[in-house]
Structures are given as C-alpha cells and as structure tokens.
C-alpha cells in the first residue's frame, strides 16, 4: 500500500508550508489526483485519517480529492481522447502511437486554514 507513503509526503509538505507561513492549524487539503495515477482513493482517505490525527497541525483536517481526467494524444492524427474509454488505441484512426498527456498527476492544490478572529484591540 503506497498510499501511506504518499500521505506522509503530503503531510510533510503541508506542515513545512504551514510553518513557513505561520499556520498553526489546517482545516483541509485539496489534492488533485489523476484518474490513472494508481492511487486508490479509499486507501488514501483511510491513511490520511490515521496519519493526520498524529499531526498537531493537521489533526481533524479533511483531505479533499479532485480527479484529473486521463487524456491521451495520438501522434498519428493529433486526436486527444479519453484514456479510460479507449485505452492506448486511438478511436479516430486506430493507431497505437499514443501517449498519456494528462491524468497521472498528483498535486496539492489548496491548503485551507480555519478563520482566525481578528484582534481589534488597540494598544
């Protein structure tokens, strides 16, 4: 299960960004995940809940996952098509000279922090 390693990397990255920006708590992390990335969403969520609970900054934080659709480019005719629907064979010309151009990514898109009350007291 490589999802746990992925979660540890996400947490380490978010904690570092949080420290650099003076963040004490994180409410949610949005992850963009390619639909052919090989990551199992349910496993990722389970690992997240377990690992985030052990981080002072991320305890209780939600992991939001947005799917990036897989797209393939045919080098023979230039067609861009849905990878899951057609695989490696171009539906327009039947060529196998294709390559994945989108859908294998994994990116931290957003880190949400709780709203902090503004200190309006004058000194």
Q: Which residues in 72-103 are b (16+ Cβ under 10 Å) and which e?
A: bbbeeeebebebeeeeeebeeeeeeebeeebb
Annotated binding-site residue? 77 = yes
Q: Which helix (H) or strand (E) holds 102?
A: strand 98-102
Cα 85 to Cα 50: distance, rounded to the nearest angstrom: 34
Q: pLDDT band at residue 1, thresholds of 50, 70 and 90?
A: low
Annotated binding-site residue? 2 = yes
Cα 88 to Cα 4: distance, rounded to the nearest angstrom: 30
- Percent of residues, the chain, with pLDDT higher than 70: 93
Annotated binding-site residue? 47 = no
Annotated binding-site residue? 9 = no
Annotated binding-site residue? 93 = yes
Pick the CATH number of 3-14+24-112 from 3.30.2320.80, 3.30.70.240, 3.40.50.12780, 1.20.1300.10: 3.30.2320.80
pLDDT the model gives residue 123: 37
pLDDT digit string (tens) for 66-123?
999 999 999 999 999 999 999 999 999 999 999 999 999 999 999 999 986 544 443 3
What is the rounded average pLDDT of the residues 1-22?
94
Is the pLDDT at 43 greater than 70? The verdict is yes
What is the rounded average pLDDT of the residues 8-34?
97
Is residue 34 packed enough to be buried (19+ CB in 10 Å), middle (13-18) or exposed (0-12)? buried
Domain coordinates in residue numbering, the chain: 3-14+24-112
DSSP string of 39-96?
--HHHHHHHHHHHHTT-TTTTT-EEEEEEEPPEEEETTT--EEEHHHHTTS-TTT---
pTM of the model: 0.82
pLDDT the model gives residue 119: 41
Q: Say if residues 59 and 15 touch (Cβ distance below 8 Å).
A: no
């Amino acid at each position: 299960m490589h999802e746990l390693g992925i979660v540890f990397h996400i947490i380490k990255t978010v904690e570092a960004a949080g420290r650099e920006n003076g963040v004490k708590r994180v409410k949610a992390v949005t992850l963009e995940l390619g639909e052919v990335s090989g990551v199992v969403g349910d496993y990722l969520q389970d690992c997240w809940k377990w690992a985030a609970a052990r981080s002072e900054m991320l305890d209780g934080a939600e992991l939001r996952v947005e799917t990036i659709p897989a797209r393939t480019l045919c080098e023979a005719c230039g067609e861009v098509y849905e990878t899951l629907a057609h695989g490696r064979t171009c539906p327009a010309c039947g060529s196998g000279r294709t390559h994945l151009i989108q859908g294998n990514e994994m990116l931290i898109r957003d880190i949400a922090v709780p709203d902090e009350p503004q200190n309006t007291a004058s000194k």
